[in-house]
Structure 1
Amino acid sequence: MSNLYKEITINGLWKQNTGVVQLLGLCPTLAVTTTAVNGLSLGFATALVMAAANGSVSPVRKFVPNEIRVPVFILVIAALVTVIDLAINGFAHSLHKVLGIFIPLIVVNCIVLARVESFAAKNSPVHSMLDGFMMGLGLTLVLGLLGAMREFVGKGTVLSGLDLVFSSMPKQLYTIPDYHGFLLAVLPPGAFLGLGTLIALRNWIEIRKAAKISTPTPNLKPALSH
């Protein structure tokens, strides 16, 4: 993997993570993540749209007049979101009903348009597709973690609603026996608290890394032999 591919991957998953660093797309992040399955499903759909949008815009970026580039980009994104929306409705209808309006709202998600405008309009198709997918994958990880936290604390279940994606799977992988739930976790305040926890955890890791780098290594002199 070349340095550029590595940089794109690290930026999407960690350094410029859209969920906990750039804080874009907060509406679906906070609203959909009542379970891990919901968060992962919407995040993966967004990643596919971002990869396809970046890959579609990059080859034609030189032919689109600067004055109408944003409407053209939104038109491309809308077409791709329609395809994803119909695919989910056809293959996972129950999940489509759960995610509801948030699938079509990917069209106006600032994450998608931001990467098309800032990266795909200036780089090659391969790099643009990788950037879009990695940015979307970084968001997917945040949605999945936040959904898993809220689901486990709020309902005492792990991956509930798995049967909405795969009909042959159980409704959840694990349930805490005799757990009555913690309602706050699945309500909107729980989403803010959970996201704040993930942001704080990432910042703590970055601070620890920076402290290790800035700490000078003591110069150890060899012992003198007598």
Structure 2
Amino acid sequence: MNLQHLREIAHAGIWKSNTGLVQLLGLCPILAVSTNLINGISLGLATAVVMAISGAVVAALRNLIPYEIRIPVFILIIAALVTVLDLAFNAYLHSLYLVLGIFVPLIVTNCIVLARVEAFAAKNGPLSSAVDGFAMGAGLVWLLALLGGMRELIGTGHLFNGIDMIIPSAQPLRVLPEAYPGFLVAILPPGAFISLACLIAGKSWLDARAAKRAAQARPAAEPASA
């Protein structure tokens, strides 16, 4: 296990194989919770923690789990972690817990979590699995943050609505002028689909541009190496 391999795993989770933009997994919580920046980041971080720890635990126990019952055991491990996280949210961030509602317990059934445990953690070591789980979760965090921030800004002209649920003395940030009337569609379900489609298109454009630059650089490098 070398540092370069871990970097490749992290790059795949955060960008190359991003769960929301490339694999299109877990769209229900992505679209439902991303009404603002705070909600998106909170659920994304919770999912990242569960993915990192569950990946490491499953990888450590993979040789002890019978193949026939691996899925129920994986779900049991994930459910135990989510229960701890759910109780912690309820105890220490109760206002945010009420806003996120059922989507915290539903991390158990999120196909992103189970897919990475089955596809990666069950076949690799604890360190690689922890990095993979956290990287996939980090990819979800930045996607939810960007998606929630876009919808919140376009919809209300503010950012950080609900920050007082985490920091009681903090206030939302007014970004657009007071005269901005807001655009309600942005924070409604159609706005979630439109915003996500724009982000998917943007990533595809950036990837195509990077591939084109790499292709143009190769012919110039080949004569020099020859």
* Shift in Å, 1:175: 4.6
Residue equivalent to 1:173: 173
Residue equivalent to 2:34: 33
Residue type at the aligned position of 2:202 = L
* Shift in Å, 1:212: 1.1
2-side partners of 1:169 and 1:91: how far apart? 17
1-side partners of 2:10 and 2:179: how far apart? 42
Residue type at the aligned position of 1:174 = R
* Shift in Å, 1:217: 3.4
Residue type at the aligned position of 1:105 = L
Change (3 A) 1:45 1:217: same
Task: Provide the identity percentage.
Answer: 55
What secondary structure, in the 3-state scheme, does the structure 2 residue paired with 1:210 have?
Answer: helix
Residue type at the aligned position of 1:138 = G
Structure 1: 5+ residue stretches without partners: 221-226
* Shift in Å, 1:214: 1.7
* Shift in Å, 1:56: 1.1
Residue equivalent to 1:224: none
Is structure 2 residue 97 aligned with structure 1 residue 104? Answer: no
Is structure 2 residue 193 aligned with structure 1 residue 154? Answer: no
Residue equivalent to 1:84: 85
Higher helix proportion, which one? Answer: 2
Counterparts of residues 53-132 of structure 1 (less than 5 Å): 53-132=54-133
1-side partners of 2:55 and 2:215: how far apart? 38
The RMSD of aligned alpha carbons is: 1.5
What secondary structure, in the 3-state scheme, does the structure 2 residue paired with 1:21 have?
Answer: coil
Cα-to-partner distance string for 1:17-64 (whole Å, 9 max, x where unaligned)? 101011100000000000010000000000000011111111111111
1-side partners of 2:82 and 2:33: how far apart? 17
Residue type at the aligned position of 1:217 = A
2-side partners of 1:147 and 1:179: how far apart? 19
Cα-to-partner distance string for 1:68-90 (whole Å, 9 max, x where unaligned)? 00000000000100111111111
Residue equivalent to 2:43: 42
Structure 2: 5+ residue stretches without partners: none
Residue equivalent to 2:214: 213
2-side partners of 1:123 and 1:88: how far apart? 31
TM-score of the pair, normalised by structure 2: 0.93
* Shift in Å, 1:174: 2.2
2-side partners of 1:82 and 1:144: how far apart? 24
* Shift in Å, 1:213: 1.6
2-side partners of 1:168 and 1:54: how far apart? 36
* Shift in Å, 1:209: 0.8
Residue type at the aligned position of 1:173 = L
